[in-house]
A and B are shown apart, each in its own frame.
Chain A
Amino acid sequence: MTAPKEKGLWKRTILLFTNIRIPIPLYLLQVLFGIASTRVALMYVPLEAQLKLGNIEENTTIFTYLGLMLLVALASILAQIPSFYSTAIVTRRLQDKLIDRSLRLPMRSYESRASMIVSWITQDCTLANGLLSSIAGFVTGIASTVMTVSTMSALDKGIGYVIVIIVIYVIFSTWLEGRLLFLRQRRDRLAQSELTAFFAEHLSFFTEIRQLHAASEELERGRRAIKRFYDADIYMAVLTLINNFVSGSIPNVITILVFVLGIRSVNAGTMTLTELAAFQNYMLIAYQSFSSLPQIYSTLMYYNGQLYYIASLMAEKEDVYDRAVSMPDAPADLRFEDVTFRYGETEVVSHASFTIPAGQTTVIAGPNGSGKSTLLRLIERFYTPDGGQILLGDVPAEQIHLGDWRRSFGYVLQEPQLFDGTVRENIVYGAPEGVSEDDVNRAVRLAGAEDFIRELPDGADYRIGENGARLSGGQRQRLAIARALLTDPSCLLLDEATASMDVSTAKAVSDSLEGCMAGRTTVIISHDMNVLSRADHVIVLSDGRVEAEGTREEALAASPTLRALCGGEEAA
C-alpha cells in the first residue's frame, strides 16, 4: 500500500506513539545484543581464517574456535528475546488503546471505517513495533559498521580502499532496488487485484453463472485474467533478475574483488593468505552491518504509511458522554424541530419536525431510502443533527447524559447483532451485572423466546455460533428483543424487526412484541403496512421530508405515498 501523501503524516505517527508506553529498555537491549553479536563475530574471524588454511599450530586455537562458535549461536538466540517481547508488548498496548478508542468514537466515525477497524486492530498493530525495531536496527548497524571498519583497518595492507568502492556500490544498488521494487509492486498489485477480483467477484456468483448459462464466457474472462497475471509474473521475474545481479550479488562481488586485489599483495609478500581469508570475512561482516543502513529512510516511510490508518483512528475525537443534565424520570414527548441531517453531500433528512408522543406507538412509514432508519439513529443519538434540534419534553437532547439517554432506548434491528456465546450471555449483554434470574425469565417470556430456548440442546447455555448462526432468523430476533427488554427501556425502537422472517414467524414475533409495547413509547419502521392497525400515531417520510403526521386515518388522507404503500392507487 502506498503511503498517503499528506503533510503532518509524521506528526500523526509520533502522536500515535505518545499514546502508549514504549518499553525503551527492551529496544536498548536489542541494540546491545546486536553490537555484542558483531563483536563476537569479529573475534571469530582470524581464527576461522587460520582453520580454513589448516594453520593449526596449537590445540587452543581449535578450542577457542569451537567456544566462540557456541557463543555466536547463543548470542543470536539471546538477541531474539527482547525483540519478541517488545513486539508482543507494543502490539498489546496499541490494541488496547485502539479498542478503547473505537468503542468511544462517534457512530459516524466508526461506521465510515467499520469494515477496516478489525484488520487494523488484529493485524496492523504489529507494525508499530516494526518501526521502533528498525530504528534500533539502524543504531546497531552504525555501531557494527564502525567496529568492523576499525578492526579491519588494523589489517590494512593497501586494499582498504575496496571498502570505499563497496560503500558507493551499496548506495547505488539500494537506490536501484527501491526503483525496481516500486515498479514491481505497482505491476504486481494491479495484476494480483485483477485476478483476485475476478475469482472473488465472478466466482462468487457460481450458482448464477449456471443459471445464466455463461460458463464459457466465464472461462474466457478467467483465462484473460490468468494471462495478465502470468505476464506480470514474467515481468517480475525479469526485474528480480536485474535486482539480483545488482544487489543480491554484492557478497560475491566483494569476494571476487578481495581475491583479485588481494592475491597481488600475497604474491608480493605484503600480505599472508591468512590475512586475505580474514579480510574477506571482515568485508562480508562490514557489508552485513552496512547494507541495511541506506534503506532506513524507505523503511521508515513504509511503516509510516502502513501506520497511517491506525494513527488517524487514534487522532479521532471521542464521544462526550457527560452532559449538563441526567435523563429525566418522567416520560415526555420526543420532539424533532426542523432537523436536518446529511451524509456527505446528500440531505437524508431535511427540515423534519414531528412529535413522538410518550407512551404511545408511533409508526414511521415511507419508501426505501426515504430516511426512516436514519431517523431512528438520530433518536438513539448515534448521529447528531446538522441542523435543528431534538427535544425531550423541553430539554434539548444534547444536554442530556449520552449514556443515560441510550440506556433508556431499546433498539431492535432487522439483522440483530449477536455474538458467539451462550443464549444467556447474549440476553444479559446490556443488563447491569448481577441481574436476577427472575428478570431474565420475565424478559424471555415477554419476547416469546421461552419455548424455543427450552427446546435447545443445552437450554439457555446453548452456544449460538458466530452472530447467532446456529439459530433461525426468528429465534435470533427474539433473543435480541429479550435482550432489549431486560434493560427495561422506556422507549422501544423497532427497525424492520420482522422483515427477514417467514410469515408465520413474523406474526408470532409481532404478537409477542405487542405485549411489550403496552405503556411504552414505541417507534416502529416496517414494510408490512399491517402494523398501521396498531399505530396510535403515524409519520410518513418521503425523500427525507415529513409528508404527513397524525392518526392513521389522518395520515392516509393526507399522504399519497402512504396510500401507494398500503395497496396502490385503488385506495386513493
Chain B
Amino acid sequence: MSQPAAADADAIRLKQRKGTWRRFIRLFPKCRLPWFWLVLYILFDVGTINIGLSETDLTAQLFSGDTSAGLVFRLIAVMVVNLVATNLSVFLGHVTSAKINRNMRGVVLDKVLKLPMSFFKEEEPREAVYRIVNNAIVIDSTIMLVILPLATAAYTAVSVFGRIFKYDWRLSVILLVFIPLQVFLAFLFGRINFSLSDREASLKASLTQRLAELVTNIPLAKAFVREDREARRGAELTQRLYKLSIKGSWLDQLQNLSDSAVSLIQTLIMILVAYTLLRNGEITKRAWVTFFLFSSVFNGAIDQFMMYYNNLKIIQGGADRVAEIMNAPEEDRSGEPCETLAGDLALSDVSFSYPSGKTVFSDLSCTFPDGQITALLGESGAGKTTLINLLLRLYPAEGGQITAGGADVSAFSLDSYRSRFVTISQNAMLFSGTIRENVCYGNGEVSDEALTGALRKAGILDFVQSLPDGVNAPVEEYGRNLSGGQRQRLALARALLSDAHYLLLDEPSAAMDAIAVRDLLRLLQDAARGKCLILIAHTPAVLDAATHLVVLEDGSAREGSFEELLPQSAFLRALSGKEATA
C-alpha cells in the first residue's frame, strides 16, 4: 500500500472509532447476557478480594510480633479460605465466559444468516462472515477482560487505601500522590512503544507475506531454474525479518525498562518517606509493616488498571465489526406467500450498479420463458451472476420491475419466493457429512424412495450404491473425496429433490470437459421438463440444449433463438466459432 493511501485509511479508521463505544454499549441488551452468572461471579470476586486483604492484614499482625495461637489460627484459616475462594472465582469466571460466548455466537450467527447480501458490499462474503464469527467473542473479552477487571482493580485500590488510612493518613497520602505520576509515565511510555511497535508489526507482516509468496512460487523458480537467485532473495528477506525482530525485542526491553523504572522510583520514594516517618517515631512499627505489605498490593492494582485499559484498545477493532453487524437492518421477511408461483420470469427496465457506483447494466429487459431452457450468455463481467442474484432477490433491483407469471416479485415474502428457486452453482456446495445429508440439505425430511429417485435422475445412483455405505457414505470437507462431475451430480440430485419451479444452473466450464457437460445437459433436459430452467453458459456445448438465448452484451440484453441472434451478436459468433465463416 502506498503511503498516502495508508494515511487516509488511518484517518478514516480514527473517525470511525469515535462513537464505536456508544454503538458497542447499545449492543449489550441484544446479547442475551447470563446475568445470574455475571452477578454471582462479581459477588464472589469482591468476597475474594476482601479475604485476600484480610490475609495481608493478619500477616502484618504476625510480622509485627503477635505470634499468639489465636492469630496464627485465624491467619491459616483465612489463607485456606482464600485459596479455595480464589480458585472457585476463576472457575466461575470460566463458566460465565463460556456462557457469554455461547449466547453471543448464537446471536451473531442468527443475525448473519438474516442479513441481506448487500451488507457485504463488494467484499467476499465468506471472508467477512468468517471474521465476524471470530469476533463474536469480543463481548466476552470486553466484559471479562476489561470491564470487570477494571472494576476489580479499582475496588482493590480503594479498599487498600481505606485500610492504610485507618493506620495513618499521611501514609495514605503517599499512595495517592503517586497515582498521577504512575499514570503519566505509563501513558507516555505506552504511547511511544505503541506507535513504534505498530509500524514494526505491519512491516513484519508484509515481509512474512513476501516470504510466503516466495515459498508458494517455488514451482515457478524450478521451471525457470531460478533456485539460486530465489534462495538469495529468501536470505535477504529473513535477514530483514531478523533485524526487525531484534529491533522489536530491544523496544520490548525499553518497555520493560520503563516499567521497572516507574515502579522502582515509586517504591524507592514510598519506602524512604515511610522509613523517615518510622525513624522519627511518627508512625508505629505495625503501621510500617502494614504499609510495606499493602503498598505492593496497591501498586499492583493500579498497574492492572492500566493494563486492562490497554486491552480495551486491542479489542476495539473486533468491537467495531460486531457493533456494525448487530445494528445492521435484516432482510425484510414480510409479504404474500407464493407456494405455487410459476410462469415466465421477466425483467423490464431493470438497472443495477455496485455500491462503488460502477454500473453493471441499466434499463435491461428480457424474458425467461416458462417450460423452456434458456441459456444466459455474456463475457465475464457482463452481469450474468448479478442478473441471477437479482432474480433470487439477493439484491434489490434499482428501478424497473421483475415479474414472475406476470406478478411483481417484490410483493412476495422472501422465504416463500426463494423456495420456488433452486440453484446449482459452479461451486457445488458440498460439506463434510454423509451423501444423504448433502443431498437432503435444504429440503427438509426426505423419504428413501424420493432420495433414490433423485439420485437416479441425476445419474449418480449407480455410483452411490457402489460405495460401501451407500447414501451414508462420508463426504469430506468441500466434497474433496469426489470428482468434479460427481459433485455436480450430487448438487443436481439436491436440486431435483426440491419442488422448486425455477432451476438455475451455473455451467461449470473449467471443471468439466465437453463430454461431461453434454452428459449433464442431457440429464437436465429430462429432469427439468415443465419447469423453467436457466443456464449460465460459458462454452458452446450448451447452445444445443437451450431453446431460448439471452445474451448480455454492450450493456443490454439480446434475446431469441440461436439463428435469430447470430447475425446481431458478435459474442455469440465468437463463442460458437462461427466468426471465421460468418
Contacts and interface: CB of A to CB of B under 8 A. Distances in A.
B538 to A, nearest CB: 9
B199 interface: no
Interface string B238-260: 11011001100100110011001
B425 A73 contact: no
B64 interface: yes
Nearest to A210: B394
Contacts of A62: 271-272, 275
A213 interface: yes
Contacts of B63: 52-54, 273, 277
B216 interface: yes
B425 A234 contact: no
A368 interface: yes
Main secondary structure of the interface of B (DSSP, over half): helix
Contacts of A502: 379-380
Interface stretch (B309-317, B404-412, B459-467, B477-485): B477-485
A70 B485 CA distance: 72
Nearest to B441: A214
A209 B79 CA distance: 57
A121 B238 CA distance: 10
Interface string B191-222: 00000000000000000111111111111111
Nearest to B213: A419
Contacts of B39: none
Interface stretch (A8-16, A260-268, A335-343): A260-268
A54 B285 contact: yes
Contacts of A273: 62-63, 65, 67
Given A103-B230, A215-B114, A277-B63, A256 B235 contact: no
Contacts of A103: 218, 221-222, 227, 230-231, 234
Given A208-B425, A226-B109, A368-B513, A266 B574 contact: no
A203 B215 contact: no
A80 B248 CA distance: 13
Contacts of B267: 69
B196 to A, nearest CB: 16
A563 to B, nearest CB: 11
A227 interface: yes
Interface stretch (A88-96, A163-171, A297-305): A88-96
B378 to A, nearest CB: 9
Interface stretch (A34-42, A403-411, A544-552): A403-411
Contacts of B80: 256
With most chain A CB atoms within 10 A of its CB, the pick from B90, B220, B427, B575 is: B220
A53 B114 contact: no
Interface in B102-117: 102, 105-106, 109-110, 112-114, 117
Given A54-B64, A223-B106, A107 B219 contact: yes
B78 to A, nearest CB: 10
B418 interface: yes
Interface stretch (A150-158, A241-249, A437-445, A446-454): A241-249
Nearest to A277: B63
Contacts of A244: 87, 90-91
Nearest to A227: B102
A471 B413 CA distance: 41
Interface string B61-102: 011110100001001100110110001101100110111011
B392 interface: yes
A212 B429 contact: yes
Interface stretch (A21-29, A138-146, A193-201, A386-394): A193-201
Contacts of A406: 222-225
Nearest to B544: A568
B504 interface: yes
Interface residues of A, number: 119
Interface residues of B, number: 126
A359 to B, nearest CB: 22
A102 interface: yes
A197 B514 contact: no
A117 B218 CA distance: 11
A102 B215 contact: yes
A201 B432 contact: yes
A248 B87 contact: yes
Contacts of A430: 223-226
A127 B484 CA distance: 39
Nearest to A54: B285
Contact of B260 (A77, A263, A417): A77
Contacts of B72: 259-260, 263
A110 interface: yes
A490 interface: no
A211 B504 contact: yes
B278 A54 contact: yes
A207 interface: yes
Nearest to B573: A503
B76 A213 contact: no
A217 B442 contact: yes
Contacts of A185: none
A218 interface: yes
Given A80-B253, A121-B211, A206-B125, A200 B130 contact: yes
A214 B498 CA distance: 12
Contacts of B379: 502-504
Contact of B130 (A102, A199, A530): A199
B288 interface: yes
Nearest to A216: B113
Nearest to B415: A213
A217 B245 CA distance: 47
B238 A99 contact: yes
B399 interface: no
A230 interface: yes
Contacts of A99: 211, 214-215, 230-231, 234-235, 238
Interface in A42-75: 51-54, 56, 62, 65-66, 69-70, 73
A495 B13 CA distance: 45
Contacts of A121: 211-212, 215
A436 interface: no
B110 A219 contact: yes
Nearest to A466: B213
Interface in B500-517: 504, 509-516
Interface of B: 62-65, 67, 72, 75-76, 79-80, 82-83, 87-88, 90-91, 94-95, 97-99, 101-102, 105-106, 109-110, 112-114, 117, 120, 125-126, 129-130, 133-134, 208-227, 230-231, 234-235, 238-239, 241-242, 245-246, 249, 252-253, 256-257, 260, 264, 267-268, 271-272, 275, 278-279, 285-286, 288-289, 292-293, 379-380, 392, 394, 415, 418-419, 421-423, 425, 427, 429, 431-432, 441-442, 477-478, 483-485, 494, 504, 509-516, 518, 539, 571, 574-575, 577
9 contacts: A69-B267, A69-B268, A88-B246, A208-B427, A213-B419, A218-B113, A249-B83, A273-B62, A466-B209
